[in-house]
Amino acid sequence: MKTLPLLTELTGVSAFSTCAGFNICTYAGGDRDMADADLRQLERLTGIDRSNMRFPVQTHTAEVRLADRPLDGVDGVVCTAPGMLIGVHTADCLPLLMADVKAGVTAAVHCGWRGTADGIAANAVELMVSAGADTCHIVAAMGPCICADCFEVGEEVACRFPDAAVIRRPGAKPHVDLYRAVAMQLEAAGIRAITPPPACTMTDPRFYSVRRQGRSLTMRTLSAITLSL
């Protein structure tokens, strides 16, 4: 099981994105027996039992909930329990991990284009603050996602984003910069420590990509975060 570490500058935080060959997502059609085997790998890697892991069943909403609430149909999780692992699944969308170590609050957010256009990153910060976090202490890192050069969209999608997050060239379809769109929401919420995506999923075969591999893809990259007990 290979992973890409994130938020390595924070003591007491373990945050990472998994690489291709690993998949615990089943709601996209992934094989349940294989997912269970990979979940056992995740338990061994993190030392955390699956009973202390929370992963939402994502539906491209802008809804974020606390980890102790039902997580079907939501796309972001906020946690206040040390030793609990939370995460989201992606295959081109932007995974956002955040932590306020001082307050003991973490978040894992699936920033698809729909959720991003509807403000999911801002919603996650708002819930973190209501759970005790301080925007001055929140550090954010983005996992691998499709880059602006590769994310060609129709005008019906581009028009839902601020101009600063849309690239327009004469004679070509618009492109959306998910990183910039999410970063703008975080900056407006008072977050200053933001690490951009480390790779483009469309061009980097270490990570799953629906655009590169097709809509029948059932595997997803996991981006997850936990605070030490």
User: Residue 60 has what DSSP assignment?
Assistant: S
Please name which of 21, 29, 28 lies closest in space to residue 4, comparing C-alpha atoms: 21
What is the C-alpha separation between 19 and 144, in angstroms, rounded?
A: 10
What is the C-alpha separation between 106 and 84, in angstroms, rounded?
A: 10
| pLDDT (tens place) for every residue of the chain, 229 residues total | 999 999 999 999 999 999 999 999 999 999 999 999 999 999 999 999 999 999 999 999 999 999 999 999 999 999 999 999 999 999 999 999 999 999 999 999 999 999 999 999 999 999 999 999 999 999 999 999 999 999 999 999 999 999 999 999 999 999 999 999 999 999 999 999 999 999 999 999 999 999 999 999 999 999 999 999 7
- All structural domains of the chain, each given as residue ranges with its CATH number in brackets, are 3-227 (3.60.140.10)
User: Left if phi > 0, otherwise alpha if psi is -120 to 50, otherwise beta: which for 25?
Assistant: beta
74 with 89: CB under 8 angstroms?
no
Using CA atoms of 60, 66, 69, 74 in order, give the dihedral in degrees to the nearest 10: 0
